[in-house]
Structure 1
Amino acid sequence: MSIFSNIFKTTDFNSSNSLQEFSCFADFFDHKYYAFSKATKRRSQLELYVFDKHIRPIFGPKTLAEITSQDLDLWMTAQLEAGYKPATVNKHSSMLNRILNIAVQWGYLDTNPFKAVVIKKLPTGDYMQRFLTHTEIKSLLSACKRSTHPFLHLFVKLLLLTGARKSELRLAKWTCIDLQKGELFVAVSKSGRSRTVVLSKKALAVLEQVKLRSEALGLPITRDSWVFANPRTGQPCTSLHIAFFKARDSAGLSSVRMHDLRHTYASLLINNGASIYEVQQLLGHYNISMTERYARLFPNTLQDRVDIVADSLDFDRI
């Protein structure tokens, strides 16, 4: 029996007593919503983590009907006072809003209290993009090379050479890499669709170094093996972020996030003549609007373009 069958077997969407079925909100999450999340979402464990840390302590003991819009406004305000950034609080509230919407759709709640909140969405300011200069890239790679993490230096190199998302590399297996075509196949990207990461000759050379490092560590390099595996567990590396933070701090680049390497890849493409369409394809953006965030980096060629029309008309001869 599929997990969907289990969900629907235990859920009576039309029952007149559905509002009384759960003793508290935590009960609804644990016994209804989380099974649904595991069946439909790639990162259900992240939802469980956020619920346990930020939602369960406040709303878990309440019944669904007891959660008020005032409770939600005070909860968001408390997170800000605790030092969480507005963008993070927005993510937490968006998740809680989604859970309550599903409770309404399934008949366990009459109305989502989020409809009456005062704080609809916290302002986060303009989207910030950080691009590393060549000097900063050199400093960062030198710091990563000094790291005790066996793969950090090679991992960061590949991020810069491919523009891949960190999860796309961290969760890659050797079977996903076509050395002949120079491609890394990602079965499920952030958009939920598959995509192909194009690998340059230098990126392929770094992957050969990864193989040699894995062999030296006694890790398997069969087709079904992880490209970046933890030497102790054999599972995908989970400590890359910690090692990266230490390396970037030692390089004096504390404001740099791992995702900024993807931004840097895009800026290097644009500065070397790539079109916005090519950047979109190489970054794996499903919607061109995501790529347009980099539009300000493109050289202003509009004056040259209007001259094309003027020169073609040549009014002086008419």
Structure 2
Amino acid sequence: QPRDDLSTFNTQIREDLGAMKLSEVTNPVLAKWVRQRIIAGYQRSTINKYIHLMNRMLSLAKKWGMVPPFNPNQEKIKTISVGDFKQRFLSEEEIERLLKTCRRSTHPFLYLFIRLLLLTGARKGEALGMRWCDIDFAKRIWTVPKSKNGRSRRIILSEPAIDVLNAARKKAKHLELSVDPRAPVFTNPKTHKPYDSFYASWYIVREWAELDDVRIHDLRHTFASLLINKGVSLYEVQTLLGHCSIQMTQRYAHLAPDRLHQRAELVGRIVSLSRQNRS
């Protein structure tokens, strides 16, 4: 737990708040930080984990006398509602519009990155951390060494996804970036390090495409919704998304009511035929 907390602080909190004095980390400052995370597309359950960590940190700081014990501007931060958050799925027309707009971006990898997320349903962090050695081009499998749940997982790559990766390799070579096995697939040409995010270019592109309400994580939801609407079972979607439990995948069950009616009719026809055979 302490090691996980330190990792979370270093990767998610230190950059924005680490240089501030504890007395400066007030509720208005933290509220602004939370809003920025929501706009950036972080899942609300993930943001709540960060909030819980910061609450513990401030509580300990007061206990150890590092800040005044009573400060009206340093009360416990409230978590944000998760259950009523509406998922966003892109239509086929919106997907086409988004990809067409991404092509117009001057960002060298934005189009390929967004297309890969749509084709695989991968999490943003998984794609940012992808290395060439994680990809088996022959078997068309991408192995994520450590996913969100702390376990490795395998992502099946379609032919179009393989095409995206081949295009990314070609682009990297053109930009004189490393394509060695342990090199990141999406390398920033300016720093020669993996990209931290694509947010700046993403905000511009989604505004151009008139999709201001779409978050990068919604591309994962869209991948799932397309599968469900094409008749893929929830258990198969669970595997493709890398969900630990079917409960996480159940959120997409409402997307295919017509297909469920069709399945019910199948049983109805079988039972009706068996009754006719007996009479």
The TM-score, its normalising length taken from structure 2, stands at 0.79
Confirm or deny: 8 A CA contact 1:76 1:89 kept in the other structure: no
- Counterpart of 1:226 in structure 2 is 184
Cα distance change on mapping 1:276 and 1:83 into 2, 3 Å: closer
Deviation at 1:238, TM superposition (A): 2.9
**Closer/same/farther in 2, CA of residues 122 and 171 from structure 1, 3 Å limit:** closer
Q: In structure 1, what is the Cα distance between the partners aligned to 2:16 and 2:49?
A: 10
Going from structure 1 to structure 2, the CA distance change for 1:77 and 1:141 (only over 3 Å counts) comes to closer
CA shift at 1:312, angstroms?
Answer: 6.5
Q: Which has the larger radius of gyration?
A: 1
Map of 2:268 onto structure 1: 307
1:46 aligns with 2:5: no
Q: What secondary structure is seen at the aligned counterpart in 2 of 1:46? A: helix
Aligned pair partner of 2:193 in 235, 239, 242: 235
- 2:214 is paired with a residue whose SS is coil
Is 1:131–1:267's contact at 8 Å kept on the other side of the alignment?
yes
Aligned letter for 1:195?
Answer: R
Q: Contact 2:5–2:53 at 8 Å: present in 1 too?
A: no
**TM-aligned CA deviation for residue 191 of structure 1:** 0.7
2:218 is aligned to: 260
Cα distance in structure 1, aligned partners of 2:168 and 2:35: 39
Q: 1:260-317, CA deviations, whole angstroms, 9 ceiling, x for partnerless residues?
A: 1111100111111110000000000012111111111123425426526733752783
Counterpart amino acid of residue 102 in structure 2: C
1:274-285 equivalences in 2 (<5 Å): 274-285=232-243
Q: Secondary structure at the match of 1:153?
A: helix
Among residues 153, 156, 160, which one is paired with 1:202 in the alignment? 160
CA distance in 2, matches of 1:247, 1:176: 29
Partner of 1:136: 94
Give the aligned partner of residue 79 of structure 1.
31
Q: Quick one: distance in 2 between partners of 1:267 and 1:148?
A: 30
Query: Do the aligned residues in 1 keep the contact of 2:135 with 2:143 (CA within 8 Å)?
Result: yes
Residues 152 and 243, structure 1, Cα contact 8 Å, conserved in 2: yes
- For 2:181 and 2:84, how far apart are their aligned partners in 1? 43
8 A Cα contact 1:280 1:291, kept in partner? yes
Percent of residue pairs bearing the same amino acid type: 39
> Equivalent residues in 2 for 1:61-100 (5 A)?
75=27, 79=31, 87=44, 90-99=48-57
Matched-pair contact (CA < 8 Å) for 1:285–1:291: yes
Please tell me whether the aligned partners of residues 124 and 216 of structure 2 are also in contact (alpha carbons under 8 angstroms). Answer: yes
Amino acid in structure 2 at the alignment position of 1:248: R
Task: Tell me how far 1:241 sits from its aligned partner.
Answer: 1.4
Q: Aligned partner of 1:37: which letter?
A: D
Q: Which whole-Å deviations, capped at 9, do the CAs of 1:32-67 have from their partners, x for residues lacking one?
A: x6x7734xx46632143465489934569xxxxxxx
Structure 1 counterpart SS, 2:154: strand
| Backbone CA RMSD of aligned residues | 3.7
Matches of 1:242 and 1:90 in 2, distance apart? 24
Match of 1:147 among 105, 110, 117: 105
For 2:84, give the aligned amino acid: D
Secondary structure in structure 2 of the residue aligned to 1:292: helix
Would the aligned equivalents of 1:76 and 1:93 in 2 still touch at CA under 8 Å? no
Conserved? CA contact 1:79–1:89, under 8 Å: no
Q: Distance in 1 between matches of 2:108 and 2:245?
A: 36
3-state SS, counterpart of residue 155 of structure 2: strand
Counterpart amino acid of residue 271 in structure 2: A
Question: 5+ residue gaps in structure 2?
Answer: 39-43
* Larger RCO: 1 or 2 (CA < 8 Å, sep 6+): 2
Cα deviations by residue, 1:97-128 (Å, 9 ceiling, x for unpaired):
45478x6xxx979xxx9xxx998755455131
Secondary structure class of the residue paired with 1:278: helix
What is the rounded CA distance, in whole Å, between the counterparts of 1:52 and 1:255 in structure 2?
30
Contact 2:51 2:77 in 1 (8 A): no
| Amino acid paired to 2:268 | D
Q: Does 2:141 align with 1:183?
A: yes
**Equivalent residues, number:** 261
TM-score between both structures, scaled by the size of structure 1? 0.70
Q: How far apart, in 1, do the equivalents of 2:9 and 2:141 lie? A: 25
Deviations along 1:55-103, one digit per CA (max 9) or x if unpaired, are 934569xxxxxxxxxxxxxx489838x9677x597455322345478x6
